Chain A
């Protein structure tokens, strides 16, 4: 129960972060349009900022989306097999996805470490900081994946 509450709180927080990032992205790009046409003074920072917002939106939205099983998969074989096979599929696929994100997390640390001293052209942000979204979202994805897999497993067991 405690675990579930913690996961729910994390997802709720991420949900609002995604909403705010998306909203800021709309404002940044719209300002770009306004400043170029109406004020006739192009802004330098809007394109860069909005690109980084898009990256954060994409990866955080990916991790959050796992909590609602938003990622499409090819389900037709899974739906046809019996219960024992289903459980086998759940274990195998969960293990493989964990392996994927484990590799992503490990390698992203190296990537972030290398680029901390490198700064973005306009906003002067350390690029390593922008990249931190990759391990953060990977952890979020994994947490939600485990919760979804456990729920699927139990549903199979109760049938």
Chain B
């Protein structure tokens, strides 16, 4: 049955059926072949899996990110980042990554981070004489931090599927996000230095203070949300709605960059983005049901432990699987398909669940900057109006450093876990 399930799934994927429908249909076909399960169970599973208060954090964080993107927050974050690192070699390249790190703290998505920061910084970099493909590549790479630094939609999905605490996963994502950000800055610095990209003017303390004051409302938000969630004041879902209301107030009344008439567009585009992700979850629940019934995760665990019981080897093998899958499967789909299979293996090998969640998300984020389905590449090349083929070469150094990063993060659990006192 496992072969039938995966065989049908791959065929459906290849003939261009949407990932969600392919998951549902492959599972439905298996149930029909088995002939002893009423198909009503499909409808029931699809319904029950979305009937979840925890999952509501997904649409809210997506909406909050969209509000921040439209509400003038990215511009202010950029100015603040500029006053901090603009005077280094390749100043604007540094600025774009630091801005991505700031923006990641208000947004849960990598594509949104790339779009928000890239739409300002790619044109700015090109104007200052930076190579267009380099400017686009750096933005696509920087955007991956969006899913590492909390809030993070993929971490929420992992938490829901693996039964891990979303609050813990969020905290565990902070240091890896900063770590990846710094590594990207180093690569961008080396490249800029070699190509002789210029520096921006050094900001005086006074200018830093002014840009900080301008950006403070944006910088304060993650502190309120994460502090609230981790301090046990509210649940991640309640925190996400606070983020929405915060974004609305700042965008509508303080920065005044969102007009009332913009709101329907913001709501519908966030609504559709969320529905697409939640529909994948919904269809994947039938898939998960069959995996469990057929005891596929246990069989996979036994097979894996038969090959090796060494946790480092197991983590390495899983990393390779994730890297490959991440290149052709969209992140939320990869999580809902792979987490039910890999999590039991990880726990059998004694790997911490929260640590594994972070490794999985960082690893799949690499898939966002690799063709054929690198969402960040699409977003960034759309903004820059440059063909995808032309950034592929410029992305290679960033791809290499991200792979090195994910290996370091895998084998040094303390980077993700030390903020949790584990």
Question: Smallest distance from the beta carbon of A117 to chain B beta carbons, Å?
Answer: 17
Judging by beta carbons under 8 Å apart, are B21 and A100 in contact? yes
Judging by beta carbons under 8 Å apart, are A131 and B47 in contact? yes
A73-B18, A92-B15, A100-B24 as given contacts; A60 in contact with B275, CB under 8 Å: yes
Could you give, for residues 45-72 of chain A, a 1 whenever the CB lies within 8 Å of some chain B CB and a 0 otherwise? 0010011101101111110110010111
Question: Smallest distance from the beta carbon of B271 to chain A beta carbons, Å?
Answer: 5
Residues of A within 8 Å of B52, CB to CB, are 51, 54
Option from A29, A58, A62 in Cβ contact (under 8 Å) with B60 = A29
Does B276 reach chain A (CB closer than 8 Å)?
A: yes
Determine the distance from Cα of A108 to Cα of B45 in the docked complex, in whole angstroms.
11
Question: Smallest distance from the beta carbon of B173 to chain A beta carbons, Å?
Answer: 23
Does B91 reach chain A (CB closer than 8 Å)?
A: no
Judging by beta carbons under 8 Å apart, are A75 and B372 in contact? yes
Could you give, for residues 14-52 of chain B, a 1 whenever the CB lies within 8 Å of some chain A CB and a 0 otherwise? 111111111011001000000000111011101100111
Question: Smallest distance from the beta carbon of B250 to chain A beta carbons, Å?
Answer: 15
Which of A21, A61, A97, A131 gathers most chain B CB within 10 Å? A61
Could you give, for residues 269-310 of chain B, a 1 whenever the CB lies within 8 Å of some chain A CB and a 0 otherwise? 011111110110010000000000000000000000000000
Could you give, for residues 49-91 of chain B, a 1 whenever the CB lies within 8 Å of some chain A CB and a 0 otherwise? 0111101100110010000000000000000000000000000
Closest to A86 in B: B16
Which of B16, B53, B273 gathers most chain A CB within 10 Å? B16
Question: Smallest distance from the beta carbon of B7 to chain A beta carbons, Å?
Answer: 15
Binds A, one of B122-130, B237-245, B407-415: B237-245
Judging by beta carbons under 8 Å apart, are A72 and B24 in contact? no
Residues of B within 8 Å of A23, CB to CB, are 267
Interface size on A, residues (CB 8 A): 53
Does B391 reach chain A (CB closer than 8 Å)?
A: no
Does A7 reach chain B (CB closer than 8 Å)?
A: no
Does B13 reach chain A (CB closer than 8 Å)?
A: yes
Judging by beta carbons under 8 Å apart, are A33 and B238 in contact? yes
Which residues of B are interface residues toward A (Cβ below 8 A)? 12-22, 24-25, 28, 38-40, 42-44, 46-47, 50-53, 55-56, 59-60, 63, 233-234, 237-238, 241-242, 244-245, 264, 267-268, 270-276, 278-279, 282, 328-330, 333, 372-373
Additional pairs, 12, CB under 8 Å, beyond known A32-B238, A65-B279: A18-B271, A19-B264, A23-B267, A29-B56, A33-B238, A33-B241, A37-B233, A54-B278, A61-B271, A72-B333, A97-B18, A134-B47
Which residues of A are interface residues toward B (Cβ below 8 A)? 15-16, 18-19, 21-23, 25-26, 29-30, 32-33, 37, 47, 50-52, 54-55, 57-62, 64-65, 68, 70-78, 89, 92-93, 96-97, 99-100, 103-104, 107-108, 110-111, 131, 134
- 23 example contacts (A-B, Cβ-Cβ < 8 A) are as follows A16-B264, A19-B271, A23-B267, A26-B60, A30-B241, A32-B238, A33-B238, A51-B52, A51-B56, A54-B56, A55-B50, A55-B51, A57-B59, A61-B272, A62-B20, A65-B279, A72-B18, A93-B15, A96-B17, A99-B25, A103-B39, A104-B43, A104-B46
Interchain residue pairs A-B with the least CB separation, the first 9: A61-B275, A71-B18, A78-B16, A29-B241, A58-B278, A62-B279, A76-B372, A100-B25, A65-B272
